[in-house]
Amino acid sequence: MRTRLVLTCEHAGKRVPREHAALFRGASRVLASHRGWDPGALTLARALGRATDVEVLACTWTRLLVEPNRSLGHPRLFSSYTRGLDAEQREQVVERYWRPHRARVERALDAAARKGRALHVAVHSFTPVLDGEPRPFEIGLLYDPRRRWERELARHWRALLRQAAPELRVRLNRPYKGTSDGLTTAERKRLPDRRYAGIELELNQAVLAGPRRAEVTRALVASLRGLLD
Ligand SMILES: [Zn+2]
């Protein structure tokens, strides 16, 4: 069965739509921090896209407006900046800034799954220290251990990464669990194991902002190509 890659980037940018600029007045530092977006994730996703000839489906609105990696109804779908909007305004934010990315990703996944099977790689980055807790590794691969194809892919990818760059520390289901609410979790409910694998690729932001970025990107490109072979 042919495997087709779908690349997405949910926290690609920190844009605020003009109609909601007032909500974020004085918040430029928060917007620019890891709370507002995933620094470095889109650049990496595009490098992977160029290497595999796949378009990156990216959401460039700040996650503080509405969180594209949470399901509708999740308590953290809206942030402290947007939670105070009334029900009608929230619905409008969902329609304009949440639903289009979700719909685009689902169309791409359905097209890939119809002709074979879809390997969905959602590219993210994580802050090296969260709430005083260091995260001493470069790469996390998040997946659902109950899904056989995903489990195999995550382990295989880790092995290929170790081949490409033995010093890289790759962790499975760290710094988050692949089964927590998110885009891949939602897609697993729509698409069966044999047609869909959703892996969140999590990169340490210290690596993406530092001198090892090119080397890590090369290792990811080589290993992703190997995974698709
Ligand atoms: Zn993210």
8-state DSSP, 15: B
Assigned token pair, 3: 């495997």
What confidence score (pLDDT) does residue 193 get? 95
What is the distance in A from the centroid of ligand 1 to the CA of 59?
A: 11
What confidence score (pLDDT) does residue 36 get? 98
Contacts of 163 (CB under 8 A, 6+ apart): 223
Please report which helix (H) or strand (E) contains residue 199, including its range.
strand 196-204
- For residue range 200-222, what is the model confidence (pLDDT) as tens digits? 999 999 999 999 999 999 999 99
What is the distance in A from the centroid of ligand 1 to the CA of 10?
A: 6
What confidence score (pLDDT) does residue 25 get? 97
To the nearest 10°, the Cα dihedral for 125, 15, 65, 98?
Answer: -80
What is the distance in A from the centroid of ligand 1 to the CA of 173?
A: 14
Other Cβ atoms within 10 Å of 179 Cβ, number: 16
What is the distance in A from the centroid of ligand 1 to the CA of 192?
A: 24
What confidence score (pLDDT) does residue 99 get? 98
What is the distance in A from the centroid of ligand 1 to the CA of 148?
A: 24
What are the C-alpha distances in Å from 108 to residues 88, 136, 167, 181? 29, 34, 35, 20
What is the distance in A from the centroid of ligand 1 to the CA of 77?
A: 13
- For residue range 131-142, what is the model confidence (pLDDT) as tens digits? 999 999 999 999
Amino acid at 167: E
What is the distance in A from the centroid of ligand 1 to the CA of 125?
A: 6
- Predicted TM-score (pTM) above 0.95: yes
What is the distance in A from the centroid of ligand 1 to the CA of 63?
A: 9
**Which segments in the chain show pLDDT lower than 70?**
none
Assigned token pair, 204: 């340490």
Please report which helix (H) or strand (E) contains residue 58, including its range.
strand 56-58
What confidence score (pLDDT) does residue 1 get? 84
What confidence score (pLDDT) does residue 208 get? 94
What is the distance in A from the centroid of ligand 1 to the CA of 1?
A: 30
What is the distance in A from the centroid of ligand 1 to the CA of 160?
A: 23
What is the distance in A from the centroid of ligand 1 to the CA of 132?
A: 19
